[in-house]
Copies of this chain bind each other. A is one copy, B any other.
Amino acid sequence: MSALEDLIEHLSRLPSIGPKTASRLAYHLIKTDNGYNKLLGEEIATIQDKIFPCSICGSFTETDPCPICTSSSRDHSTICVVEQPQDVVTLLSSGVYDGMFHVLGGAISPIDGIGVDQLNFAKLIKRLKEGSFKELIIATNPTEEGDTTALYLRQILKDSDIQITRLASGLPIGGDIEYADKITVARSLRGRIKF
């Protein structure tokens, strides 16, 4: 049954979908409501026509420039640098940030072949020069790659007047010290604050 094998093969190319899950999904799709299949299939086929990166900040958007870059109510003097477009969604959902964003498209990772040239630094530097930013918040992930990227950013901006900050690392809220990994505990100790 080539139609089924093709579908399983293509589903298994999705991230976190192995051959067994792909097979289970395909059999589900054969049995489920066909209207749902038509809808989902159309959405997958056309998603890139509807959602694309903002030409200014690189966030995913349905209009260009995106609603954040063109917002008159948001703070245009603060810029938050993130690795991925989905990080923008997470930071927005915190409800405590009302500035601009800049998506690098990843973090420096020589082992994965991702260097400075593969990331969206050039446009960031241009934005910083042309804009009137007072603070740049580094919101790269608390990983080796995110740390490397943060250090690189600090270095290239060391002669600018922009204040550079980075998201705090430490124990996740609601977490338990007993079960926290030692690197997180070490970070929470080094970054301890007056209480």
Contact = CB atoms under 8 A, between A and B. Distances in A.
Interface of A: 1-4, 6-7, 10-11, 13-17, 21, 23-30, 34, 36-48, 50-52, 60-62, 84-86
A135 to B, nearest CB: 27
B7 A28 contact: no
Contact of A86 (B6, B7, B27, B34): B27
Given A3-B51, A51-B30, A45 B37 contact: yes
A47 B3 contact: yes
Nearest to A66: B1
A42 B43 contact: no
A4 B40 CA distance: 12
Nearest to A105: B31
B41 A86 contact: no
Contacts of A6: 43
Nearest to A6: B43
A15 B7 contact: no
Output the residue of A21, A27, A43, A62 with the most chain B CB within 10 A: A43
A50 B51 CA distance: 30
